Structure 1
Amino acid sequence: MSCPGFGELNIPSSRAFWDDCDEDEFENITPAEKLELKFEAEWADSKTPFESDLLVVIEGSQISHFGTSVLAKDTKRVCSIPAKSSSLHWNPENKQLLAILEDDLTMSGEVTELLLPFAKVAKKVVTLTLKAKVEFKSEEIQLYSDDIAIVRGVGATEKGITELEAPNFIAGVAAGVATWRDQQELPISSFVIYTDKIPLDSTAAQPVLKLLQSVGVACTSSYIPPRKDSSYLYM
């Protein structure tokens, strides 16, 4: 018994494709907007990337409040980054530059290009990616069921940090910056933390703060999350 059409590949002709399109459709296409850093007034006249002793790139979902609360204290906001509520901050006392990035893979390539000039002149770079614990893949996942967080390094040499194992991986701006630094044979330390609470609360923030402090990142020792609106539940 034969099967008509089985295995047959039908490719539409290019003529049919173009015949179905109106010429004015291409004339009305709006060019994609070029992404750029929006500098604060203080930095508007000097947009040249400045050298930092340490560039910290922290990326994750709903990370803005945590980043500005524990890392951006005593810093000056340099500019906003075109990825949701992302921003760049500068601490003149310890020459620490901080990029707080809301996870947005749709523009990670363009945003990486915007931050590379700062990554090129930084003496040291640390990247940290925050993910939900359910994203961590392991044949022995039951061993981590009671852990608040799972901490892994990507090519990191810090003592006590386990290397991130396949099939887990990181993406986004943090991965882009880290890859560029590694290819240029410049100092880079990359980490990923799988946490059971996003956005972070006071307890879930502790492993993150501990890691940051251990690699020399200036930050507070505790985190108080923003107060939530009433849930309208009454006892």
Structure 2
Amino acid sequence: MTTFGEINEPSSRTAWEDWDDVISSENYVDLHLEKTVEVPQQIDTFIILEGRYLYDCIRAHHQLEVVNASPEVNLRLYRTRKMNNYVCMIRDYNLILSSEIVELLKKYIDVSTDVIAILTKPLVEYQVSELVTKDYVIRSLATSKQSSIGLDINFPHLEQPNIITGVSAGVLSWREITDKPAVALVCYIEHPEELQIQELFNLLEKLKVIPHVEKTHRNNLLNSNLYI
């Protein structure tokens, strides 16, 4: 008698999957915004700056007013002083919490006319057939509905099989589902400690996140007088 093609379940549990013993309550984080503030009825552009590089670029030069924060995921929410834009800065967070973070921001995202997400990734993660000779590469990924903000965002489309993950990806997906415009700019960087990427600074200046580009200077270890 053959058992080929049959499903034989073991009489006892002598084997189990790795996730069988995982307790769902482990690593649970109750995400929330620190303050209860009124969400505006309309926001022109909601800007997401994801990653330590962007945080370091503008932390000493931003023209922003703090609105709220979620320290558990290193998230800060700002309002620009000169335009009806909101800026979300986030860095060093657990990717598993991306969906929960998007839920936190959804009430702001839904009332925004446009959404721009900018994130950085290591250049070694950029997969392309051609040889990359630059220190950085900027690519874009947009929703089906085109943005109406009128800014000059004409970066090449992100090629397959490259993907984006995290909060920026979640926000872009939500805007696609709700048939609203959004664009994500992915900047692949070789040496983030040394680079000052002019295209990103120009865009942040247009969005009134930073002052004039010529006044912008990144404070980091390699630009300091500290010798090791």
CA distance in 2, matches of 1:227, 1:99: 22
CA 1:136–1:12: 2 relative to 1, 3 Å: farther
Determine helix, strand or coil for the equivalent of 1:186.
coil
Among candidates 89, 92, 111, match of residue 100 of structure 1:
89
**Offset at residue 174 of structure 1 (A):** 0.9
Q: Cα distance 1:196–1:12, how it changes in 2: closer, same or farther (>3 A)? A: farther
Aligned: 1:135 with 2:129: no
Moved more, 111-120 or 179-188: 179-188
Deviation at residue 205 of structure 1 after TM alignment: 2.9
Identity %: 22
TM-score computed with the length of structure 1 as normaliser: 0.72
| SS of structure 2 residue aligned to 1:98 | strand
Gapped runs of 5+ residues in structure 2? Answer: 1-7, 17-22, 147-151
Quick check: which has more Rg, 1 or 2?
1
Quote how far apart the aligned CAs of 1:68 are: 2.7
Which secondary structure does the structure 1 equivalent of 2:30 belong to? Answer: coil
**Alignment partner of 1:60 is 2:51:** yes
Alpha carbons 1:83, 1:101 under 8 Å: kept: no
State the match for 1:22 in structure 2. Answer: none
Alignment length, in residue pairs? Answer: 201
TM-score, reference length from structure 2: 0.74
- Counterpart CA distance in 2 for 1:225 and 1:69 is 8
User: Do residues 34 (structure 1) and 30 (structure 2) align?
Assistant: yes
Cα deviation, residue 62, structure 1: 4.5
- Where 2:180 maps in the other structure, the secondary structure is coil
The within-5 A match list for 1:18-167 is 32-39=28-35, 44=36, 47-50=37-40, 51-70=42-61, 72-73=62-63, 75-82=64-71, 84-104=73-93, 105-140=95-130, 142=131, 144-145=132-133, 147-155=134-142, 160-167=154-161
Q: Which of 183, 201, 216 is 1:209 aligned to?
A: 201
SS for the counterpart of 2:117 is strand
Once the two structures are superposed, residues 178-197 of structure 1 have per-residue CA deviations (whole angstroms, 9 ceiling, x without a partner) of 11111111121221111222
Q: Counterpart of 2:184?
A: 190
SS of match in other structure, 1:53: strand
Amino acid at match of 1:91: T
Question: Residues 67 and 227 of structure 1: is their aligned pair in 2 closer, same or farther, counting only changes over 3 Å?
Answer: closer
Which segment is superposed worse, 171-180 or 149-158? 149-158
Over 3 Å counting, the alpha-carbon distance change for 1:52 and 1:131 in structure 2 is: same
